[in-house]
Homo-oligomer: A and B are copies of this chain.
């Protein structure tokens, strides 16, 4: 292991400990009538936490080692939006998936009505986390974080991408249309994860712009790799049903570019992401660099 690898491993372990503790504190078991259990089941399940790590890595890139309440809250908020989207996506009227990260999906474990409500409540909770009333996050920062998250989660971003996805099952798509769909569906939340980390740390305009280029590249790379793994990995490794896109006749980067073409695309996007960091004036971009590599090299 290089010293950079060791530093990233230690940073990741520390960051994940913080995020898990914060989510466990903030996702309320006390919510009434089983809602809290369903919300916690959806969130506290050993996900990869890529989005929170991106948020904390971006904050660190801008502000160095200082630990910022706004960054930790942002990290948890983006994970809650991600978690709610998975709960709703898995429902019978959407992807009808029964397995997620190796466990029964929320609607299987708690029923469809509770899954619907738990997802709804997780989205609201994300905005609650961004607006603490304890003075730990300046109101102006709270407002900017809510603005960014609302736009990324809604019809401009994630929800809009899912609508495009829904409309194209079994239909051909151009590469441009596929990129647009994924830029919204997955990319918007990955981008805003980086953006909110940088906002939490008080990044200036040029830095925000460089980090946006980084985030756009890894956002798309993430989806390209997802499509590759859907055909190259097995369900046990993925922790979800492999081969699903093909079975559902969904357009993917692999169906469009071929496996080799998709793999080359992922490498190009990784280089784009690293180049964006080279161009920025950052305190410590080690974690962002390592995360870019891990997005492209992951096997699940």
User: Which residues in B have their C-beta under 8 angstroms from that of A128?
Assistant: 147, 150-151, 154
Give Cα A166 to B34, complex, Å.
10
User: Which residues in B have their C-beta under 8 angstroms from that of A153?
Assistant: 120, 124
Q: B139 and A144: CB pair below 8 A?
A: yes
Give Cα A128 to B149, complex, Å.
8
User: Which residues in B have their C-beta under 8 angstroms from that of A184?
Assistant: 32
* Contact code string A92-118 (vs B, CB < 8 Å = 1, else 0): 011000000000000000011110110
User: Which residues in B have their C-beta under 8 angstroms from that of A119?
Assistant: 120
Interface membership of A146, Cβ < 8 A: yes
Q: A114 and B166: CB pair below 8 A?
A: yes
User: Which residues in B have their C-beta under 8 angstroms from that of A91?
Assistant: 93, 116
User: Which residues in B have their C-beta under 8 angstroms from that of A252?
Assistant: none
Q: B113 and A36: CB pair below 8 A?
A: no
User: Which residues in B have their C-beta under 8 angstroms from that of A88?
Assistant: 116-117, 120
Q: B117 and A159: CB pair below 8 A?
A: yes
Interface membership of A231, Cβ < 8 A: no
Give Cα A163 to B30, complex, Å.
12
* Contact code string A118-136 (vs B, CB < 8 Å = 1, else 0): 0111011111101101000
Q: A147 and B133: CB pair below 8 A?
A: yes
Give Cα A248 to B150, complex, Å.
36
Query: Closest 9 interchain pairs by CB?
Result: A124-B154, A93-B112, A131-B147, A31-B155, A35-B163, A127-B150, A121-B159, A142-B143, A33-B167
| Known A-B contacts A127-B146, A154-B124; A117 and B163 likewise in contact (beta carbons under 8 Å) | yes
| Known A-B contacts A88-B120, A93-B113, A155-B31; A149 and B127 likewise in contact (beta carbons under 8 Å) | yes
Give Cα A31 to B160, complex, Å.
6
Q: A39 and B131: CB pair below 8 A?
A: no
Would you list 25 pairs from A and B whose C-beta atoms are within 8 A, ordered by A residue?
A32-B160, A32-B163, A32-B164, A32-B167, A33-B160, A33-B166, A34-B163, A35-B163, A39-B155, A85-B120, A88-B117, A91-B93, A113-B166, A117-B159, A117-B163, A121-B159, A121-B163, A123-B124, A128-B154, A130-B150, A131-B143, A131-B147, A139-B142, A139-B143, A142-B142
Q: B142 and A28: CB pair below 8 A?
A: no
Which listed residue (B133, B146, B154) contacts A121, Cβ 8 A?
A: B154
Which listed residue (B94, B114, B140, B168) contacts A140, Cβ 8 A?
A: B140
User: Which residues in B have their C-beta under 8 angstroms from that of A31?
Assistant: 155-156, 159-160, 163
User: Which residues in B have their C-beta under 8 angstroms from that of A32?
Assistant: 155, 160-161, 163-164, 167, 184
